[in-house]
Amino acid sequence: MKPLIGIWMVSQFFSAVAAQTSPISEDSIAVYFSEVQQATKEHASLWDRDIYGPILMVDPETREVYANVADEEGILKRSKKVYRGRLPKEITISNTDIEWCGTHWAMLKLPLSPLKQDRIDIITHELFHVAQTSLGFEFQREDNIHLNDREGRIYLRLEMAALKEALLAPRLTQAEVHLRNALIFRKYRHLLFRGSDSSENSLELLEGLASYTGQMMSGRNKWELRNYLITRIMAFDKIPSYVRTFAYETVPVYGFFLYQKDNNWHKNLDNETDLTSLFAEAFGMDMRIILERYVNQVADEYNGRFIVDEELKREISNNARLDIYRKKFLEDPHLEIRLGEINISYDFENIIPLDEDEGIVYFTMQISDYWGILTVSGGGALLRSDWRWVIVSEPTDIKDNMVLGEGWSLVLNDGFFIEKTGSGDYLLSRKK
């Protein structure tokens, strides 16, 4: 089942400054559109085409929409410098790409950063998603739950530590030593978790290339980009979950160094490209069998013992949390909602994967479907692995079309209601 809109929201967690808080003006929006149009034109050689296209900027408080072009259905009206309208309540607001009113848009949630480079970065990231099909990249949703496992996290953190040292190295030849070590940790992680090479590769092709595109079009020079990447990678350890976040960091760093060797390294990529093999060949990684003893020796160069100790402690507390959420969503009374063609957005930095066949707990999420709108704001919801069901805690208040629970709310469309089953759980049902 494929959502109606892209589900990957670009986080501004790493922005050097907070987003602007001044009132949104049409003049400012017009400037943003002009900046991006100029940036994509200047960097058209990146993908051998100008990826500038339809852009929606949305004020989440008022749902006011500002667009750079008219929609195909004529809903948006021309103002002085932009097109304006209001986004329907069933459309979730996030940084994503979306099909709406007959047009495929890059959607951005206002306000944007006051820094021009950051604004161009995030907008061109989403424009890449609009263009990705025509560039040869199809939407693929792959979970990487192994990156919530202790060893998965350890060897990803070691890879990131090696990538950081590569960025800090004074010369490319020294950087490549660290890049090869980063790939050793990556290849070993893939040996530990069957199928992880494929699932990680899918997310890197989807989000890694979008991040690389945004950063290359941002207008940062080589040294500004290097410092920006260092800042991001140093903050990575503090993100609660790596399951959906790692690709935003890995591909841009490898791409930063690949660009110095070949400006066009990315132009022959497609859905079938194995990025790990490409990186390994480009940086001269020895492809012999990777032995655990050797990997652990290399890990000592990147504070490996400290990372292992931290992850051992985290595993103990994380297992306790998993038990709490299994009880909350699978054993205690709860509400189960069947999903159809969903429209979804969520915070991918703060999630808790359960077992592979159980699903992932999201703490900030909005889903709109044929039955109404579910908003999760802290209490958590379990999205099952097959994306056919979402589960929230027991309702505390059911009144007409409004249902409330701990940290969530549900607005029902006409013809739907909540019923209690014989087991004590609840179901969202349709009136006959």
Q: Which of 283, 302, 321 is the last residue of a domain?
A: 302
- pLDDT attached to residue 139: 67
- pLDDT attached to residue 355: 85
* 3-class secondary structure, 188: helix
- φ, ψ of residue 53 to 5 degrees: the values are -160, -165
Measured CA distances, 251 to 14, 241, 312, 350 (Å): 16, 18, 28, 21
Residue 139: inside a domain:
no
**Total count of residues recorded for the chain:** 432
HEC readout, 135-169: CCCCCCCCCCHHHHCHHHHHHHHHHHHHHHHHHHC
- pLDDT attached to residue 3: 45
* 3-class secondary structure, 224: helix
Confirm if 119 and 23 have CB atoms less than 8 A apart.
no
Bond from prior residue into 240 cis (ω within 30 degrees of 0) = no
Residue 11: inside a domain:
no
CA 394 to chain centre: 29
- pLDDT attached to residue 19: 45
Q: Name, in order, each residue with C-beta under 8 angstroms of 26's C-beta and a sequence gap of 6 or more.
A: 66, 79, 80, 81, 82, 84
Residues 256 and 368 in one domain: no
Residues 348 and 290 in one domain: no
**Going residue by residue through the chain (432 aa), what tens digit of pLDDT does each one get?**
334 444 434 344 434 333 444 568 999 999 999 999 999 999 999 999 999 999 999 999 999 999 999 999 999 999 989 999 999 988 989 999 999 999 999 999 999 999 999 999 999 999 999 999 999 888 666 779 999 999 999 999 999 999 999 999 999 999 999 999 999 999 999 999 999 999 999 999 999 999 999 999 999 999 999 999 999 999 999 998 999 999 999 999 999 999 999 999 999 999 999 999 999 999 998 877 789 999 999 999 999 999 999 999 999 999 999 999 999 999 999 999 999 988 898 888 889 999 878 999 999 999 999 999 999 998 899 999 889 999 999 999 999 899 999 999 999 999 999 999 999 999 999 988
Residues 178 and 216 in one domain: yes
Encoded tokens for 176: 């490549």
The Cα 410–Cα 401 span in angstroms is 8
- pLDDT attached to residue 12: 42
Q: Report the predicted TM-score, pTM, of the whole model to 2 decimal places.
A: 0.90
Residues 112 and 204 in one domain: no
Residue 96: inside a domain:
yes
What is the torsional sign of CA 365, 150, 211, 29? positive
Residues 158 and 291 in one domain: yes
- φ, ψ of residue 423 to 5 degrees: the values are -85, -5
Confirm if 34 and 86 have CB atoms less than 8 A apart.
no
The Cα 81–Cα 68 span in angstroms is 8
Scan for tokens 């021309």, then name that residue: 78
Q: Name, in order, each residue with C-beta under 8 angstroms of 114's C-beta and a sequence gap of 6 or more.
A: 17, 19, 20
- pLDDT attached to residue 405: 96
Partners of residue 374 on adjacent β-strands: 367, 410
Domain that holds residue 384: 333-430
Residues 121 and 194 in one domain: no
Confirm if 405 and 396 have CB atoms less than 8 A apart.
yes
DSSP 101-119: TTEEEEEEESSPPSSHHHH
The Cα 229–Cα 232 span in angstroms is 5
Q: Which of 65, 99, 131 is the last residue of a domain?
A: 131
- pLDDT attached to residue 8: 37
The Cα 107–Cα 110 span in angstroms is 10
Confirm if 366 and 374 have CB atoms less than 8 A apart.
yes
Which class for 378: exposed (0-12), middle (13-18), buried (19 or more C-beta within 10 A)?
exposed
Residue 3: inside a domain:
no
Residue 18: inside a domain:
no
Residues 239 and 283 in one domain: yes
- pLDDT attached to residue 22: 53
Residues 126 and 200 in one domain: no
Residues 257 and 164 in one domain: yes
Residues 298 and 339 in one domain: no
Q: Which of 97, 131, 165 is the last residue of a domain?
A: 131
Residue 7: inside a domain:
no
Partners of residue 90 on adjacent β-strands: none
- pLDDT attached to residue 231: 97
Confirm if 48 and 40 have CB atoms less than 8 A apart.
no
Encoded tokens for 66: 């500002």
CA torsion, points 122, 126, 127, 133, in degrees to nearest 10?
150
Residues 149 and 241 in one domain: yes
Quote the number of domains for the chain.
Answer: 3
- pLDDT attached to residue 92: 87
Q: Are strands 351-353 and 360-369 parallel, antiparallel or unpaired?
A: antiparallel
Residues 291 and 379 in one domain: no
Q: Name, in order, each residue with C-beta under 8 angstroms of 251's C-beta and a sequence gap of 6 or more.
A: 204, 207, 208, 209, 211, 212, 275
Residue 59: inside a domain:
yes
Whose CA is closest to 256, among 296, 297, 223? Answer: 223
